[in-house]
Structure 1
Amino acid sequence: MKLKKIFILTGLCAAIVACTDLNIPPINLLGERDIFGSNEGVTSNLARIYSRLPIEDFKYYYPSGFNFNGAHYKQMACLTGEAIGRDTQASDNEGFSYWDEAYSEIRDINMFLENISKYSSSFSESEVKMYLAEARFARAYTYFALVKRYGGVPLVDAVIDYPASVNMEGTYYYRASEEAIWDFISSDLDYAIENLPENSPAKGRANKYVAAAFKSRAMLYAGSIAKYNTVNEVQDQNGTSVRICGVPSNRANDYFKASYDAAKRVVDSKKYSLYKGLWKANDRIAQYENFRNMFLNETSENIFVKYYEIKNAPHNFDESVQPYQTKSGGNDSEVNPTIDFIEMFDGIPKDENGYFKNIDSNGKYILFDSPLSAFANAEPRLRATVIFPMDTYRGKVIEIRRGIWTGDASNGISPLANEGDVGNCNQLTDPNLKLAESLSSNPLIQLKAGDPNGTSMRAAGINGPVSNWDFGNVGGVYLRKYLRESGTTNDFNSTQCWIEIRYAEVLLNQAEAAYELFKAGITGDNYRSIAYNNINSIRERAGATLLSSELALDNINIIRNERRKELAFENKTYWDLKRWRVLHEEQNNRRYKILNSFYSTDAQKYFLSVKFQEPRGGFQYIYTFDTRYYYQPIPTSEISKNPNCKQNPGY
């Protein structure tokens, strides 16, 4: 039923009098004209629509949904191999259904669209176009969140006026084809691009380039599904065969071209740019500080941002991922980057197989004055993304240590028995190793006379890792990206804004779409050259080694890996791995590797062990992705009440 009145709470009670004229609207009701016939009412409605957009930000919690206001014990980055977490179990998936919330948002948007058109005489022509365009941008955003989870879904582009205009059977919508949903998203975004202003009317609202940037993301996803998805689920709908899961492969280049063109529109506008405000050529410290500060400030790179503020809308990101050492209460250490992730970056010592080189030619551990020394030549972007053991954060040296080795190091230190051995991933049984069972049972270990570190050290440092289930580090490294350098870290006290779309992503979208078009032999722009230039622009800012020539860009994985490094921990990688249809290959009985730092009392130096994530609290952390989850289950409640809605395969 269409909403005809909107209630406003006033705190007053009204008495019902027998003789009252019921045709007079109560004073605590506003009619449609009051809400949709004024700029104040319209912007209030828009604010509500924006606040409900399915943005996977600091308050997104994959077990529970969007705008979650509890402790974030699990993080999406721990589902992708970017990191491990104490509480993130292997083979997890989204534990909530976005279905009902999405269609509630779509209903509100459709109602908004109908009423803006109905009361258009109250506004200027440009205002009407802007309001309609913002609503259609939001509708595309919502359908994108649906289609990437479920495939084809019921396409509702108007308010369903039940029971006034349709009976119950009229609400039983079939699922549209997945292709139709992608095309509908494209159409809504095209309208938004053409009718939104050059500049956002207010912070956090869309403009034409926000819509174009988002289109570059959505159409890239659609192209990937057309090219890489193999699921073909069809439903007979009154004699018509409709493909509700999957997109015809011959549409791939259409979508890649749409993504490329949308990204090009943003690039050609010159409205945004890669942030280099603190960047200096050949200055690794400046490049590190530039990348780190980019996520804590307003910059030229921000395209679409969700804002937070302490009074009405804080979040708890710092509490969730901060080091144990800097916590002032609450939680900590839920995101611990893996060595698998670290190995993607340039400048790290690697063996002939591309793995982190921690063993010398004599089969002994390479020794370092500090664990940080092992990564001294890594690209600055990496140090701006993670906190290595003995690096600084909030003015403190972050002491991450698995244990202390007290053996004779005169002939070098041989690899621990468990080095690289998945079968013994938790068996640290070397008698020379001094470990901590927990942070509250962390023994002091005597050092040799003359040790520059003093007379004794805690076995596990301040942060761990430790042997048993406990707070503190579990992977040997901490996340730095998005972490504030000051302020209270317990509970909901964080106010960093979430950069939902930034210019680097647009360049990466364009590069990937361009390379796909190049490989398909599509004529037009010099697609390979554009992809090459985009990747090198990002790598230059990151302090990484530049690709030597266009010919060096000879594999789609070069672009994909650059994307994984640049957009790490921004909740993009999970969906990228799904759209490329490679997550099941990466997570096939997979354990992720962690970095364990140990101090040698005899050598008075550190050595670094690479091992698999240790089981804790009964969790084995062996990852396997079930391919049926490329399409998530439609909620059983929807299947029960709508006989025309077919469930996805495998459920």
Structure 2
Amino acid sequence: MKRIQIRTFIATALMLLFLGSCTEILDEQPRSIYEPSFFKTEKGVYGGLTSMYAHLRYIYGQAYYYNTTVTGTDEATYGQSADNNFKDMDLSGVGSITSTSSRTDALWGAAFLNINTASGIIENAAEVGISPALIAEARFFRAFDYFALTQTFGGVPLDLGSGELRFNINPVRTSVRNTVPEVYTKAIFPDLLTAVNDLPEVGRVKGGVTKTVARLYLSKAYLTYAWWLQNPNNIPTYPEANRTDPDGHDAAWYFQQAYNIATEGIENPGTFSLQNTYYDVNLGQNDRNSEILLYADHTETSEFYNASSLTYSNGAAPENFAGWMMTWNYTNIRSGGVSSVQREAAQPLGRPWTRMCPTINVIKNTFADKTNDSRYDGTFTTVYRGNWNKVKVVPPLPATLTNANDLTVNPGDAILTFLNEDNPAVVYSNTTGNIGAGVLPGRADYVINPSGISRVVYPGLWKLGVYRTDNDGTLGQPNAASTRPFSIAKFSEFYFIAAEAAVKGATVKGGKSARELINVIRARAGKWRWNNAGNTAKIEDNSAVLTAATPAVIDINYILAERSREYYAEGYRWYDLIRTQKWEELAGSYQICGTAYGDHTPVTVTRTIDKHHYLRPIPQGQLDAMVMSAADKAAYQNPGY
């Protein structure tokens, strides 16, 4: 199968002015309006389908939207260089979420444009003789976008100007929001059920959607809707609606369907499978592997197909620059006065922005077991190694440098290490290594305890790090956006969805109880083949230890903790916490040190998470674009904003 060559983003005529009507587009034949007749041609259908894969890049890997899914949860807080885009999301008193600062506008604009394209294909493609499998791709993406929108904003419009779920080509400056049950039962579930039925087992192209992908989203939608119907903590919805299902089912029925579909996905994987080790899931050299069900694609082979430069970045969609946000300015480390860790286009390093950072709680609690469980090592860069030899200057930099305790270090040696456990013998100095690090007797590397990480110095996010094949022994192109695909969905989530549904009361199959399902993931987490911290092979199997440690009876909090270990900082967390209504309980406070180099004094920060925060505000650009009364606009906006 050939890999999708994404080169268009078709901006169909969604004249509700959903934030994207004037967006600059890349297309061999630029168009601003696609009339129905265009989708009655084979070329039009294929162009529309290609645009659906392309639209993913305007959402996933877009760092400001990424921030809204991670910052403010129990996974991350704002970093030292954060602006209000990041501080507002933290809900810790340094800002507040508003209709202009919540960068979920990235989702709103791209999703509705794509929904309209999908409707154009669904309505017209049959007349061209296009197969149901191709039309099912459009149905999948329409459901995919509506699912993301409804989780984020509550009920959203099904009528974009020409009727519910109809292709719109007419300028419309008003809008009416449907309720959450209406969006699920009229759009999300019917489209996904059709997609499961009509999509192939093997993708039309590499990265193309399949039955397995559709099953994952159908099971996840059933699970999410079941929680919404149950509403254990009385979280309000908007537009207001009774917590009853138009199709007459209760929450228990939907939890059972989530379990059934998820286990069906496990039993019928098609071309997908779990990777043997957690390290391999996120390894740059192993991108687009068998575990990745859906991704926003990029490439280093062509700026045209990458839709962005290969040498510099504008810091905007459709670039993949999310990985920069949790990368601190490691280039400030000094060894004998020399910047010993240079900015490099390599997975442990990359471009530093210091906009987001992990909390101390993440390092000490979420990833408490750093010995048996490989996921901490497969998530973070905890050892920064010297690479000054790759700087091409005349005369060259010294072959060796002086580091901690006046000891000599060579290229490739550890310059700074974040310790796995607090060591009371660490001595900090405001000037150590130029970043206020610590030292331990006899060690040539500077060190920092887990309780000493701060908003300015912290372990970087290895799993989203850049990967290039064209460095040729140099530092490469670290200022370019990442050319790696941004992973959106993984086969492993079937196990979590089924386990969560089982905990919520679904009747289970033999061998697939909640504990047994979670233990499949934990067993894999115990298998090592490489140690990032040591930069060396590590053949070790701790599966038995990890599975034995799993509680006999697991609850939702345990599943959420496992999900965080598995998907840390990948953009899942806010949705996990609002689905289960555990946001305030699990993320209401956190510990972190300050914004100054050398500050290693933890402080406890309290967040104010109100019930209205469980929905994001409708973007201000949407409200400004509509010709409606002030009262109607106020009613259109979610309460509290």
What is the TM-score with the length of structure 1 in the denominator?
A: 0.66
Residue 430 (structure 2) aligns with: 435
Going from structure 1 to structure 2, the CA distance change for 1:223 and 1:229 (only over 3 Å counts) comes to farther
Q: CA deviation at 1:539?
A: 0.2
Are 1:572 and 2:576 counterparts? no
Matched with 1:342 is 363
Query: In the aligned structure 1, how far is the partner of 2:519 from the partner of 2:141?
Result: 33
The gaps in structure 1 that reach 5 residues or longer are 12-27, 66-73, 236-241, 280-287, 349-374, 403-411, 417-431, 468-472, 600-607, 614-620
Counterpart in the other structure of 1:367: none
Q: How does 1:295-334 map to 2 (within 5 A)?
A: 296-310=286-300, 311=303, 312-313=306-307, 315-317=320-322, 319-322=324-327, 324=330, 325-328=341-344, 331-334=352-355
Counterpart residue number, 1:243: 241
Cα deviation, residue 78, structure 1: 3.3
Q: Within 1, Cα distance between the matches of 2:151 and 2:26?
A: 41
Counterpart contact for 1:306–1:499, Cα < 8 Å: yes
Counterpart residue number, 1:631: 615
Counterpart contact for 2:384–2:416, Cα < 8 Å: yes
Tell me the residue number matched to 1:213.
216
Tell me the equivalent position of 1:494: 482
Task: Answer whether contact 1:274 1:300 (CA < 8 A) is retained.
Answer: yes
Q: Could you give the per-residue CA deviations for residues 300-350 of structure 1, whole angstroms, max 9, x where no partner exists?
A: 2121122111322453355444452341595344443333113345764xx
**Cα separation, partners in 2 of 1:640 and 1:148, compared to 1, 3 Å:** farther
Evaluate the alpha carbon distance shift between residue 232 and residue 210 of structure 1 in structure 2; reply closer, same or farther with a 3 A threshold: same
* Counterpart amino acid of residue 108 in structure 1: T
Q: 1:338 to 1:246 in 2, by over 3 A?
A: farther
Task: State the AA in 2 paired with 1:633.
Answer: P
Going from structure 1 to structure 2, the CA distance change for 1:41 and 1:131 (only over 3 Å counts) comes to: same
What is residue 76 of structure 2 aligned with on the other side? 83
Specify the SS of the correspondent of 2:119. Answer: helix
For residues 353 and 34 of structure 2, the distance between their equivalents in structure 1, rounded to whole angstroms, comes to 48
Aligned partners of 1:336 and 1:476 also within 8 Å: yes
* Cα deviation 1:528-552 (Å, max 9, x = unaligned): 9432221111001001644449971
Cα distance, 1:224 vs structure 2: 1.9
Residue type of the partner of 2:361?
D
Whichever residue aligns with residue 80 of structure 1, its letter is T
Q: Which whole-Å deviations, capped at 9, do the CAs of 1:278-304 have from their partners, x for residues lacking one? A: x4xxxxxxxx64455378433221211
Rounded to whole Å, the distance in 1 between the matches of 2:237 and 2:320 is 40
The reply to whether residue 641 of structure 1 matches residue 636 of structure 2 is no
Ranges in structure 2 where 5+ consecutive residues have no aligned partner: 1-11, 15-23, 160-164, 308-318, 331-340, 345-349, 388-410, 527-542
Q: Is the 8 A contact 2:200 2:211 kept in 1?
A: yes
| Structure 2 SS opposite 1:481 | helix
Letter in 2 for 1:385: T
Q: In 2 relative to 1, CA 478–594 (structure 1 residues): closer, same or farther, beyond 3 Å?
A: farther
Superposed CA offset, 1:56-100 (max 9, x none): 5222423xx8xxxxxxxx574332232342214231653343445
Q: How far off its partner does 1:51 sit?
A: 1.7
How many aligned positions are there?
509
Q: What pairs up with 1:20-419 in 2 under 5 angstroms?
A: 35-53=38-56, 56-62=59-65, 76-84=69-77, 85-86=79-80, 87=82, 88-89=86-87, 90-91=90-91, 93=97, 94-97=102-105, 98-117=107-126, 120=127, 122-123=128-129, 127-156=130-159, 157-160=165-168, 162=170, 174-183=176-185, 184-227=187-230, 228=232, 230-232=234-236, 243=241, 251-271=250-270, 274-277=273-276, 279=277, 289-290=279-280, 292-293=282-283, 296-310=286-300, 311=303, 312-313=306-307, 315-317=320-322, 319-322=324-327, 324=330, 325-328=341-344, 331-344=352-365, 348=369, 375=370, 377-389=371-383, 395-400=412-417
1:289, 1:234 → 2: CA distance?
A: 41
Q: Which amino acid aligns with 2:465?
A: L
Cα distance in 1 for partners of 2:481, 2:415 equals: 22
* Superposition deviation, residue 270 in structure 1: 3.3
1:404-453 Cα deviation digits (max 9, x unpaired): xxxxxxxx969x9xxxxxxxxxxxxxxx852139x7687999x9xxx644
CA contact (8 A) 1:316 1:491 kept: no
CA contact (8 A) 2:499 2:515 kept: yes
- Quote the Cα distance in structure 2 between the aligned partners of 1:568 and 1:640: 42
Note if 1:474 corresponds to 2:479. no
Q: Distance in 1 between matches of 2:581 and 2:637?
A: 21
What is the root-mean-square deviation in Å for CA atoms of aligned residues?
4.6
Deviation at 1:504, TM superposition (A): 0.9
- Per the alignment, do residues 318 and 398 of structure 1 end up closer, same or farther by CA in structure 2, a change over 3 Å counting? farther
For residues 503-539 of structure 1, give each alpha carbon's deviation from its aligned partner in whole angstroms, at most 9, with x where no partner exists. Answer: 1112111111122124xxxx4x338943222111100
Provide the C-alpha distance between the structure 2 equivalents of 1:234 and 1:77, rounded to a whole number of angstroms. 23
The residue matched to 1:591 in structure 2 has which SS? strand
Q: Which residue of 1 aligns with 2:393?
A: none
CA positional deviation for 1:128: 2.8
Which residue identity lines up with residue 556 of structure 2 in the other structure?
I
- 1:347-369 residue CA offsets vs partner (Å, 9 max, x unmatched): 64xxxxxxxxxxxxxxxxxxxxx
Partner residue, 1:508: 496
Q: In terms of Rg, which structure is larger? A: 1
Contact 2:379 2:462 in 1 (8 A): yes
Identity %: 23
Check whether the contact 1:77–1:83 (CA below 8 A) recurs between aligned residues.
Answer: yes
